[in-house]
Structure 1
């Protein structure tokens, strides 16, 4: 496990490589019988990985549940539906608290806009370097995606007035949650590097 960035460390500390157990199940399914193989040797690098992963996991476990869910949604190799839903709820609630008054119909649609922004934000930051392009930078593509995935149509007569401010607020909320979730992980990485 390399300690290059907090995003990468979050992913790597939960990543489980293809191991002997998976190989055994595959052989059993393909051949209908067990094939004897030598045991996988555990080297010092495996022990070092476990120690580093444990330090990162400890930092993650101390986060408040909403931040932990957001981080897992963004960076964990296997995100649960519970984490995704908790992250979506956190982003939506924070975005609504930063927004002005709006009609009930618009609030209902804003929930799906927040989910769409989270999808966009995740795609832009996957891989740990935050260098990917926004997959739906165009309002037309974003509206089409929300309609296709959630079946919710966003009126587009005045996109810049009606929806763009809320989209921007959702991105700001995602950035705030991201920084708050990654900060303790980055601090743990710094401490581990200093101790080495």
Structure 2
């Protein structure tokens, strides 16, 4: 398990290593489902991974539930619609709470915008080093994604005035939630590296 970043550690602590990926996929092909065998690989590398993973998982468990779900959506190897929806709701609530009030008819559009910003933020920060390019850097591309994925049409007229502030608030919300979620993981990594 790599301890070079909290994001990578979050991913790796939830990833189960197999002795042989080829053997595992052959079993899935043959049986139609993956089956855990009773024999475990207790090699030194696997045991070390499990020990480090347990420390990171314990750190994650100290977070409030919603922050855990946000972090799992961002960095866990598997993902689900439930995790995504919870993360989107959290980003929307935080951004909306910090910004200007809006009419009720505008809230569904704002929720779609928050979902689009989270999608962008997640894609930019996956891989552990936050170096990926913005997948939707232009307002046109962003509006097209919101329309395709959420079925919500956003007007292009006065885009910056209409949505610029809320998009910025959503990015700030994502950044704040990300930092809060990674604090205990970073602390656990620091303690493990000091002990090494």
Same fold (TM over 0.5): yes
Choose 15-24 or 158-167, whichever is displaced more.
15-24
Q: What is the aligned-residue RMSD (CA, Å)?
A: 2.1
SS of equivalent residue, structure 1 residue 163:
helix
Pairwise CA distance, 1:29: 4.0
Counterparts of 1:2-81 in structure 2 under 5 Å? Answer: 2-19=2-19, 23=23, 26-27=26-27, 29-30=29-30, 41-81=41-81
Q: Which residue of 1 aligns with 2:140?
A: 140
Q: Which residue of 2 aligns with 1:35?
A: none
Q: Which residue of 2 aligns with 1:154?
A: 154
**5+ residue gaps, structure 2:** 33-38
Alpha-carbon distance in 2 for matches of 1:125, 1:2: 17
Alpha-carbon distance in 2 for matches of 1:91, 1:28: 37
* 1:54–1:40 CA distance, 2 compared to 1 (3 A): closer
Give the total of aligned pairs: 190
Alpha-carbon distance in 2 for matches of 1:29, 1:179: 41
The two structures have a TM-score, normalised by structure 2, of: 0.90
Q: Which residue of 2 aligns with 1:98?
A: 98
What whole-Å deviation, never above 9, does each CA across 1:122-144 have from its counterpart, x for those lacking one?
00001000001111110000001
What whole-Å deviation, never above 9, does each CA across 1:41-67 have from its counterpart, x for those lacking one?
532111111100000000001100111
SS of equivalent residue, structure 1 residue 15:
coil
**5+ residue gaps, structure 1:** 33-38
Alpha-carbon distance in 1 for matches of 2:24, 2:138: 47
Alpha-carbon distance in 2 for matches of 1:159, 1:133: 22
